[in-house]
Amino acid sequence: MKTTTRSMLTFGMALLLFTACAGPPADEPTAPSPEPATTETDKQPPAPETSEAADEAFLAELAGLIPPTPSHEDIEALTAMLEEDLHSLSPEAVSQGLYLIKSVQDQALENHPAYGGVSPPLAEALLNSGNLSAVLADPSLLEDPALEEEILTYQKNFFTIATAEGMYYLMVDFHRYLAFKEQVTSETLTYLEIMAEELHHPTFRDAAMVIDLDTLWKRVLAVDAYLADSPINEDIRLYYETLLYALIYGGNNTPVYDYTTETMTPERIAFYDTRSLPEASPLYEAFEAFKEAAKASDYRYSESMESSRTRIMATFESSY
């Protein structure tokens, strides 16, 4: 049975077991070349070798820095330690460090007195600015030192600000995590890229699907493939649930079935007719049954179609 990434990231966690890949065979020995003259600039210390013991010591020290009740201002010290030790750690240890920091961010948002919302003065200023992206790129545009400092504090702690329905709230900034993309495992990099893309171009905004169907399908396939090959990651699992909702329901303001005619939109009909999940996917049969039920009812809303949607979500819950 697959285990969750979150369950492997408790403060008393043990290191995940990773299989080390053997390197390529050594080249045939050749006659040594004369050594060049050494200059002062050549006298650089050799790159430190990574070791399992060093990885374990780092992760233990990192966990020791986490306060019992972390806040959104406690992340900077953790990321600074990771950056300082980066080149002496294995990709597995860097990945585990990032997962641990991400779990602390999640706790900080849960502990936040405003449940992750920014201060009322900052929310008002962002609303009046009318351009959140510009302000995040240059907080001085607000012309208020206190509000500028609030934004910079969030950013230093790997948070960004998102908005929906007039509210402004903190989100984990996965783009900041991509600064470590050269030092993490391929599995972790895929996770970060998936989450960063959703952060940059959200699937939903104000209860409406705001990406096109081709983009939605690419995301569905990417996440389905990730979950097939990797331990279950709670972020990815919840994200897949969001994508499935977009796939078969569409969102309150962009429904698959028109509220007035109760008929599927022509765009959706053409989309479903040309898409199938990989046969190895746990959701393959349920998605095929949904398409068949929709077609059998002439693409009008029906109880059999609704049952097929329920089956997809039930299969998701039991499989992931």
Whether 251 and 293 have beta carbons less than 8 Å apart is answered as: no
Q: How far apart are CA 289 and CA 257, in angstroms?
A: 17
CA gap 21, 23 in Å, rounded: 6
pLDDT of residue 165: 85
Rounded CA gap, 282 and 290, in Å? 14
- In whole angstroms, what is the distance from residue 269 CA to residue 61 CA? 55
Question: On the CB side of 239, how many CA atoms lie within 13 Å of its CA?
Answer: 25
Instruction: Note the pLDDT tens digit of each residue in 226-273.
Output: 999 998 899 999 999 999 999 999 999 999 999 999 999 999 999 999
Asked if residue 160 lies in contact with residue 177, where contact means CB atoms within 8 angstroms, the answer is: no
- Is pTM beyond 0.85? Reply is no
Over range 21-27, report the average pLDDT: 35
Mean of per-residue pLDDT scores for the chain: 87
Counting every residue, how long is the chain?
Answer: 320
At 157-167, the pLDDT tens digits run 999 999 988 89
Burial of 24 (0-12, 13-18, 19+ CB in 10 A): exposed
Bridge pairing between strands 167-172 and 159-164: antiparallel
Mean pLDDT of 158-187: 95
CA 190 vs. chain centroid, Å, equals: 9
pLDDT in tens, 43-58: 444 445 558 999 999 9
Both tokens of 313, joined, read: 């979500």
Contact, 56 vs 18, CB < 8 A? no
Q: State the Cα–Cα distance between residues 194 and 239, nearest whole angstrom.
A: 9
> CB-side exposure of 102: number of CA atoms within 13 Å?
24
Angle CA 185–189–192, to nearest 5 = 140
pLDDT of 73 above 50: yes
Number of CB atoms found within 10 A of residue 309's CB? 20
